[in-house]
Structure formats: structure tokens, C-alpha cells
Amino acid sequence: MSKIIRTKFNKEGDMIYISHLDLQQLLQRAFRRAEIELVHSQGFNPHPKISYGNALALGTESQGEYVDVEIEDDLSVEEYLSRMNEQLPKGIEFIKAMEITKQTPSLASTIEYGEYIFTIELEKILSKEFIKSKILEFMSQEEIMITKKNKKGKIVESNIRPMIKQFDVLDLSDKIITLEAMIATGSKANLNNSVFIPKILEMLELEIDPLDVDILRRDLYVVEDGRLVSPM
């Protein structure tokens, strides 16, 4: 009798530099070492029934990643967590888990938003008033336009403003600014941080390499009755 387990896990430290594909392989090896038998799909190319939430960009830390796994074993959730955490490398930890049913909608189809923390080291001191006023101005715009290449390689303009649900300053100390944002992170709409961060730096009039901004994905959210809730 198989069961499906939804797990929340983090990806920190050196593990932020492994790709989504490497993460998939790492978890499959950990399942084998933990002696947890996975259910495989039928057909010519059977693969384990594992599905993920929105893939995390390389170099991004996360405290809220999700994976659904169908297992053959009749393990308790506690036993499953304990066996897996013994096999996982430092930087990846299964935080909590719950059993779901085949009727539970997939993570990819339901996750709509991601909560992000951006940490920027400044070369000059900015006042909280300046940052607040810039954010207010930024968020009061009806359109925040970006240009990008579409799949056909054509340059198109698109408005990212509807994809920013919340955006504010969290903390400012010495020359370090911490910002928080709730942005579209799903299959319906997805605001990539490689697009959003340059816009933030431009807004704050900062000439900083976007790659020098530290990103933490705090959690992912689904929308239920107009409210944002965690997938588990």
C-alpha cells in the first residue's frame, strides 16, 4: 500500500550552489540510502513519483521548499523524516512532513507566491525615510515595465507590477539594508529575481551588481479564499 508524503525542507549553506537537477539526484540517492522504496511510473522509462514546487534559482537560500513523494513503504511521517535527515548532507534538512492523498492538487499547480528576503550591502548610507519613500513611489506605479526576449527571441515589453503583492523595508543597520517581498512564484505567473533585483537597485539609485544581493526564499504560498496559506 503506497502513500504520498508532502515535505517541507530547507536549502542553505553550500547547498545553495547545487542546481535543481543536482538536488533531484541528491534526494533520490538519499532515499536509496535511507532504504525508502519509491513508487515508479509505468511505461518504457519508469521514474520515481516525485514532484516539486517552483524550482529555486541557483545561489538562493531557502527555508521553505516543498516536495511530494510517493513511497511503497508504510512508514510513519516521523520515521520518514528521521531516516531521511540521517542521509541528507549539511545544508539540506527535511523540516516537517504530512501525508496527502492522490486528490491533493500538485504543488506546481497551486503555488502562486514566494516570500523573499533581500539583503544588500551598501557603499553609502541611505536613510530609512529615503528607502520608504522610494518603495512607496515604486509600489504606487500602475506599470513597472521591463524588456525581455520572448521564446521566439523577439524583444517584448511586459508589466511586472501585478506580480508584486507586497514589498517593504524590513531592516536598516549601518550599511546593510534588508527588504522583504511577496512576489508571483508559480506556473501561472512568475517574477524572476534576475528581473526584479535590477529594478530594486535602480529604484534605490544603487550601482551594485545584482549578483551581490543575497536572496532568501522564506516560504511558498497557495491562495485559498483570497488568503495566502502555506502548502502544508
**What would the pLDDT profile of 110-168 be if each residue is shown by its tens digit?**
999 999 999 999 988 899 999 999 999 999 999 999 988 878 889 899 999 999 999 99
Ramachandran region, residue 180 (left: φ > 0; alpha: ψ -120 to 50; beta: rest): beta
CA–CA separation, 167 and 179 (whole Å): 7
CB atoms within 10 A of CB 107: 23
Residues 151 and 206 in one domain: yes
Residue 174's pLDDT is 83
Collect all residues with Cβ–Cβ distance below 8 Å to 81 and sequence separation of at least 6.
7, 94, 96, 97
Residue 147's pLDDT is 87
Residue 104's pLDDT is 95
Residues 207 and 124 in one domain: yes
Domain extent, residue 58, equals 3-104
Residues 97 and 116 in one domain: no
Q: Which of 75, 104, 133 is the last residue of a domain?
A: 104
The type of residue at 44 is F
Cell numbers given for 93: 534538512
CA–CA separation, 162 and 183 (whole Å): 9
Residue 151's pLDDT is 81
- H-type helices in 14-140, by residue range? 20-33, 77-87, 107-110, 128-139
CA–CA separation, 103 and 94 (whole Å): 23
On the question of pLDDT at 8 being above 90, the answer is yes
Cell numbers given for 175: 550599511
Residue pLDDT, tens place only, 80-105:
999 999 999 999 999 999 999 999 99
Residues 138 and 189 in one domain: yes
Percent of the chain with pLDDT over 90: 87
Closest by CA to 37, choosing from 75, 76, 94, is: 75
Residues 163 and 100 in one domain: no
CA–CA separation, 186 and 114 (whole Å): 8
CA–CA separation, 215 and 180 (whole Å): 10
Q: What is the DSSP letter of 124?
A: S
User: How remote is the C-alpha of 153 from its chain's centroid?
Assistant: 27
Residue 223's pLDDT is 94
On the question of pLDDT at 64 being above 90, the answer is yes
How many domains is the chain built from?
2
Q: Which of 81, 104, 127 is the last residue of a domain?
A: 104
The mean pLDDT value for 193-212 works out to 95
On the question of pLDDT at 1 being above 90, the answer is no
Structural contact between residues 60 and 215, judged by C-beta atoms closer than 8 angstroms: yes
The model's confidence at residue 74, banded by pLDDT at 50, 70 and 90, is confident
Closest by CA to 177, choosing from 140, 130, 114, 115, is: 130
Residues 24 and 62 in one domain: yes
Cell 528521521 belongs to residue = 82
Residue 38's pLDDT is 95
Structural contact between residues 140 and 208, judged by C-beta atoms closer than 8 angstroms: no
The pTM score is 0.93
Residue pLDDT, tens place only, 26-37:
999 999 999 999
The mean pLDDT value for 177-187 works out to 96
**Residue-averaged pLDDT of the chain:** 95
Collect all residues with Cβ–Cβ distance below 8 Å to 157 and sequence separation of at least 6.
145, 146, 147
**CATH number for the domain that contains residue 40:** 3.30.70.580
